[in-house]
Amino acid sequence: MMKNYSIIIALCVVGVLGTTAVAQPQFNYPAYNAAISTYLSYRSWAVKQGGTEQKISQLVVPFSVLRPVTQNIDVYFSTSNASSMLKSESDYKLNGMTDGKFKAFWRLAENSVMLSLGLGMPFGKNSFNESENQVANALYETVLGFKVKRYGEGFDADLGAVYARNFGGTFTIGFGVGYLFKGEYNYQTDSEIKFKPGDELSIHGGVDIELDSIFIRANVLHTRFGVDKLDGEQFLTEGSQTEIEALFHYHTYPISFSIFVNNIIKQENGVSGDLGRALLIGRNFIDNSFLSQAQFMFNLNPSFSFGGKFGFNKFGKSDIQVADAWTIHSGPEFYAKFSETMIVRTDLMYLTGEAEANTITLNGWQTTIAFSFRF
């Protein structure tokens, strides 16, 4: 029944799964006391339009820990520290912690059912001055893909339930539902105006197929958003969003290859207030988008692998955000397992793209070094 646990975690923690490689060095044993993850990631973009150029960069250091409490209960906590900078006519900075996220998981019926309860603890920076708002607006641009967009919000709470079942050791299917209660917060320094994001309801399902050398995963996530309110008045009704993901992975020692695609279908937003404030609330204003990545890895031995990845993203149009865009990322990646308690991953990515009918050029780079520990 442990095969159910994989898809339950994928559905319940994040709703849908990202581009996790299956055949890089892995821990051979589960975490008895704690699984800890952290990394340093730096991303920088140069955005050119006409004769002007802006440079936007961010260094983010997240930290997360997953700890088994009993045989069927796990608790999870995560937060990040981020330093962001915008260089245009002047230099603008935005530094601080993000909110803390606490989550508890309760597995039932031999790992076929998982219930979750999450709390968002608002100790991140959630109100910005005029200079910091300049940086925040740049971070909210979806096409740039910064890991930390909103540093802090209000007090949040979420509930989730997932059911998964394995058939014959090869085929696993799972379904889940989640509800996110969003708290209000003051989003601007020297202002008493409160922003209350709408609550979110998500329904998701997934399928895993695992053969001798092939692994396939497909996920569908549908999210509906409540009404956002600014100063007690209706401001925005974000359109519902459907994400369709697929992951194909092939491995035969010593090589592995994977392809990941994500198609985002976005319904139209309804904005009732001042569009000039719209970016400050950090919502997604881009029409349908398509994200993809291919990864190739060569396993030198069970403790070290190297390879590369290539990704192509296409973004729809928007009246508010930089959009009608495409971006490409590519570069090498390395994994090293030093012991049964530590794995290190590092990569170096070249970034490029264009936006707004090729009137904006995008060029940048990213580097990451990640550490995973189990005790």
Query: Which residues, listed in sequence order, are joined to residue 342 by a DSSP beta bridge?
Result: 339, 373
How much is the pLDDT for 6? 54
- Residue 265 identity: I
User: Domains in the chain, start-ordered, CATH in brackets?
Assistant: 2-374 (2.40.160.40)
Half-sphere exposure of 282 (CA within 13 A, CB side): 22
Cα–Cα distance measured from residue 62 to residue 68, given in angstroms and rounded to the nearest whole number: 20
Cα–Cα distance measured from residue 370 to residue 58, given in angstroms and rounded to the nearest whole number: 16
Contact 111, 1 (CB under 8 A): yes
Distances (CA, A) of 310 to 215, 257, 306, 351, 356: 20, 12, 14, 10, 23
- Residue 132 identity: E
pLDDT in tens, the chain (375 residues): 445 555 555 555 443 333 444 457 777 777 678 999 999 999 999 999 988 999 999 999 999 999 999 989 999 999 999 999 999 888 999 999 999 999 999 999 888 999 999 999 998 887 888 888 889 888 988 899 999 988 888 899 999 999 999 998 899 999 999 999 999 988 777 777 888 889 999 999 999 999 999 999 999 999 999 988 888 888 788 889 999 999 999 999 899 999 999 999 998 877 765 555 555 556 667 779 999 999 999 999 989 999 999 999 999 988 778 889 999 999 999 999 998 899 999 999 999 999 998 899 999 999 999 999 998
Closest by CA to 199, choosing from 137, 305, 120, is 120
How much is the pLDDT for 150? 83
How much is the pLDDT for 60? 97
Q: Please, what's the b/e burial string for 243-282 (b: 16 or more CB within 10 A of its CB; e: otherwise)?
A: bebbbbbbbeeeebbbebbbebbbeebebebeeebbbbbb
Query: Which residues, listed in sequence order, are joined to residue 48 by a DSSP beta bridge?
Result: 53, 361
Cα–Cα distance measured from residue 352 to residue 365, given in angstroms and rounded to the nearest whole number: 8
Closest by CA to 10, choosing from 153, 215, 256, 211, is 215
Cα–Cα distance measured from residue 185 to residue 260, given in angstroms and rounded to the nearest whole number: 36
Distances (CA, A) of 104 to 17, 81, 118, 176, 363: 19, 23, 6, 16, 40
How much is the pLDDT for 14? 42
Closest by CA to 303, choosing from 332, 333, 335, 347, is 335
Cα–Cα distance measured from residue 81 to residue 233, given in angstroms and rounded to the nearest whole number: 32
Per the structure block, which two tokens stand in for 110? 């031999």
Q: Tokens 């139209």 correspond to what residue? A: 268
Cα–Cα distance measured from residue 288 to residue 327, given in angstroms and rounded to the nearest whole number: 15
Q: How far, in whole angstroms, is CA 145 from its chain's centroid?
A: 9
Q: What radius of gyration do the chain's Cα atoms show?
A: 21
How much is the pLDDT for 280? 52
Cα–Cα distance measured from residue 18 to residue 145, given in angstroms and rounded to the nearest whole number: 14
